[in-house]
Structures are given as structure tokens and as C-alpha cells.
Structure 1
Amino acid sequence: MAEREVAIRPLGRSGDLGWVVMAHGEFYDREFGWDTGFEALVSRIVADFAEGKEPGPQAAWIAEVDGARAGCVFCVRHDERTAKLRLLLVDPNARGLGLGARLVEECLQFAGQAGYEAITLWTNDVLGSARRIYQKHGFELVAEESHHSFGQDLVGQTWQRSL
């Protein structure tokens, strides 16, 4: 099997924003049965990012495999001293290439260089692969809360780490 060409680049090409929304909607429906409420949430996060609604430094990256989009992550302002990692996704067909770890590393490096002192994220306990990446990068679970969202009963988790 030929080696695959893997690249991480800043989000910013035509179609990137729409791809992030579409990929999240399709993946979470297929993998977890989440309804379009999740896709609507992702579209609001993406629109707020694109419009620069949050003050402070922010950035996002797209992972590509053989020139095709295969993953993403966003780093936005949570508060004056804390960044927030959002929308980490790796296409199931691109798993095992280290994309999730590389995307998280981009986010951590950006947040530190931007002057943030800590970084936080919110996820759900069913996302085991992502949780393992967060743990390997020093994030610690700081809160859990049951909720009903996206047509499912879930346990939301807040993770944090210092930079």
C-alpha cells in the first residue's frame, strides 16, 4: 500500500467552513445517531468563528489526506486567560494516521503562543477516541453532567489543562 500524503493547514480555503459543518453532521449521525440539532450547533460555532464574533486570538486547521479534507479543529477564546478547543474531528477513513494528535498539538501550540494560560474543551463521554487524545495531551476531566441533546441521553464532560 502506498504511503498517504498527510498535511495540516490553516482553515481558509473556499468550502472549508461548509465541510466542517457537513462532516460533523454526517459523522455524528452515522456513528452515534445524533440528530440535526448537533449540525445546527456546529453551524453556529463555525459561523461565529468566521464572523470573528469572539474577541481575542482564534485559529482553525484542516487536516488533509492525499489532498482531501479529513479532519479539523478550532481554537477560540473561552475567556481572557483561557482558550477553548472546539470541533475536533477526524474522518473514520483517515484514522490511525495521527491526525487527531497533530490537530490537538496545533491548537495547543497556537493557544500558548497567543498568550492563553490554559485551555478547556467540552465533549461527551461516548467520544472515546477523542478523550484518549485529550488525556495523552495532558487534559484532565474537571466536570461531568448528564444531559439530553441531539436526540440522545449523554454525559457532557469538561476537560482542562494549563499551557
Structure 2
Amino acid sequence: MADIVAGYLRKHQPDWERCWIAELDGQRVGSVFVLRKSPTVAQLRMLILTAPARGRGLGALLIDECIAFARSKNYKKMVLWTNSCLGIARDIYARRGFQLIKSEPYIGFGKDLISETWALRL
């Protein structure tokens, strides 16, 4: 994750990319990024919420902000990569119209996992 953030800072395109940080009671409890994958494709990255922030609708709010931003920049599509075991995040994406377009097994974090790529037409 540190590499992703470092890359964002090194190559940041402020007209096309954003980061949101969620706060709860004055504490930072989550974040999400929109990166420019191509002139027509935005990439959603690193939706992260701490345990105390979960179940409060913050994940959905962050995703809604990302989608609104991407639309305001006239991106045609938004893509994201996740793991199949992240059910709540997957539900947020699906409720907003993202569709699963690819899945494949891999070994990550010392476990057998299934990666997923989702896409949303904007």
C-alpha cells in the first residue's frame, strides 16, 4: 500500500486524480483514491476503513464521491481491483452498478485468494 501511495504522490495529476480521507470524531478512519488509468478510464484504489468506521455508511459515501468526481472529469469508465473475500466492499460496488469482469486465483498475503476486476460505465 505504501508503494501505491508513493506512486500517487510522485505522479499525481491534480486535474484528474483525487484522494479522500474520512474522519470520525476528529480521527482519520479511512481513505480512497481515484487515479487516472487512461484519458477515459479512472481507477478506484485502496478503499480502506478502520474497524470503528465500518458499518456507518462511510465506505458507500467515499465510493459515491469517487464516482461523482470521475463523472465530473468526463471519464467513460471506472475500474477497480479487489479480493472476492471482501464481501461488504463488493456489495457497495455492485449496488452502484459496478460489474465483475474478471476473476482469477492467486496467492497473496500468504493465502489462496481470488482477485476480481470490476468496471462501471460512467
TM-score (norm 2): 0.94
Indicate conservation of the 8 Å contact 1:117/1:162, yes or no. yes
Indicate conservation of the 8 Å contact 1:55/1:77, yes or no. no
| C-alpha deviation, 1:52, in angstroms | 2.0
The 2-side partners of 1:152 and 1:132 are apart by 22
Which residue of the partner structure matches residue 46 of structure 2?
A: 87
SS in 2 for 1:153: strand
Which residue of the partner structure matches residue 147 of structure 1?
A: 106
The 2-side partners of 1:127 and 1:137 are apart by 16
Alignment partner for residue 83 of structure 2, among 116, 124, 129?
Answer: 124
| C-alpha deviation, 1:56, in angstroms | 6.5
Runs of 5+ unmatched residues, structure 1: 1-41
- CA RMSD of the aligned region, Å? 1.5
Runs of 5+ unmatched residues, structure 2: none
SS in 1 for 2:85: coil
Query: Rg bigger for which structure?
Result: 1
Identical aligned pairs, as a percentage?
Answer: 43
- What are the within-5 Å matches in structure 2 for residues 101-140 of structure 1? 101-140=60-99
| C-alpha deviation, 1:73, in angstroms | 0.4
1:98 matches 2:57 = yes
Indicate conservation of the 8 Å contact 1:60/1:73, yes or no. yes
Count of aligned residue pairs for this structure pair: 122
1:52 matches 2:11 = yes
The 1-side partners of 2:105 and 2:14 are apart by 30
TM-score (norm 1): 0.71
